Amino acid sequence: MRKTIHIATHQREELIDITQEVQTAVSTSGVQNGLVSVYAQGATAAIMIQENWDESVQADVVHLLQKLIPKGVWLHDAQDGNGDSHLKAGLVGPSETIPLINGKLGLSQWQNIFFCEFDGPRRKRPITCTIIADQGK
């Protein structure tokens, strides 16, 4: 099964918790055991599994990437000013795969799924969830 989630972003760079939206897609599928692939459709966005308890961790991720990949110094900036956004998205990666265990996301207590926006704000960012059931017993 495949479901596309759409979210709006509000800052140029931010991490947005999409765990509940992904869990809803899984629940709707009826799959109990298998995998869900969560994929950010966009060259300046990514998906990350990260700490869910302390929001400072998400801020730290953004700040680290800003230090590693500063804005305004890349060749692509001559086209549309977002060379850093493409590099950050490429470094983090467009997808994560999470096991499904008894109809629930197989995340630890301290993990959630985050959409990483590196070129916002955007009114509509698509995220594709592909849900695959185990065939074995």
Q: How far is CA 100 from CA 70, 104, 111, in A?
A: 37, 5, 14
Instruction: Enumerate residues 6+ apart whose C-beta is below 8 A from 21.
Output: 5, 7, 127
Burial pattern 84-105, b for ≥16 Cβ within 10 A else e, equals bbbbbbeebebebebebeeeeb
Say if residues 122 and 12 touch (Cβ distance below 8 Å).
no
What is the Cα–Cα distance from 64 to 131, expressed in whole angstroms?
32
Does the pLDDT of residue 137 top 80, yes or no? no
CATH for 2-133 is: 2.60.120.460
- The amino acid occupying position 8 is A
For residue 48, what pLDDT is reported? Answer: 98
Q: What is the pTM of this model?
A: 0.95
- Flag whether pLDDT at 131 surpasses 70: yes
Q: What is the pLDDT of residues 39-88, one digit of tens each?
A: 999 999 999 999 989 999 999 999 999 999 999 999 999 999 999 999 99
